Amino acid sequence: MAEVERRGSVAAEIPFLTKVNIRVKPGGPAAAAVAEVLGVALPVEPNTIAVDRARRVLWLGPDEWLVVDPLAERPGLELALLAALGGQPGAIVDVSAERTVIELSGAHARDVLMKGCSIDLHPTAFSVGQCAQTGLARAQVVLMPVGEAAYWIFVRSSFAGYLTAWLHDAMAEYSLFPSAGTLR
pLDDT at site 70: 86
Q: Is 80 exceeded by the pLDDT of residue 4?
A: no
Rg value, the chain, Cα: 17
Q: Is 80 exceeded by the pLDDT of residue 1?
A: no
pLDDT at site 75: 83
Q: What is the mean pLDDT of residues 63-72?
A: 91
Beta bridge partners of 151: 104, 145
pLDDT at site 182: 45
pLDDT at site 180: 45
Q: Is 90 exceeded by the pLDDT of residue 184?
A: no
The structural domains of the chain, with segments of one domain joined by +, span: 4-14+98-174, 17-94
What's the pLDDT band for 2 if we cut at 50, 70, 90? low
Selected from 1.25.40.10, 2.60.120.260, 3.40.50.300, 3.30.70.1520, the CATH number assigned to the domain covering 17-94 reads 3.30.70.1520
* pTM for the full predicted model: 0.89
* Dihedral, CA of residue 21, residue 81, residue 126 and residue 161, to nearest 10: -40
Q: Is 60 exceeded by the pLDDT of residue 183?
A: no
Q: What is the pLDDT of residues 106-161, one digit of tens each?
A: 999 999 999 999 999 999 999 999 999 999 999 999 999 999 899 999 999 999 99
For 157, other C-beta atoms within 10 Å of its C-beta total: 10
Q: What is the pLDDT of residues 27-55, one digit of tens each?
A: 999 999 999 999 999 999 999 999 998 99
Q: What is the mean pLDDT of residues 60-75?
A: 90
Q: What is the mean pLDDT of residues 12-41?
A: 96
The domain 4-14+98-174: what is its CATH number?
3.30.1360.120
Q: How does strand 132-136 pair with strand 49-52?
A: unpaired
State whether residue 144 is helix, strand or coil.
Answer: strand
What residue type is 2 in one-letter code?
A
Could you give the CA distance from residue 14 to residue 99 in angstroms, rounded to a whole number? Answer: 11
Phi, psi of 180 (to 5 degrees): -70, -35
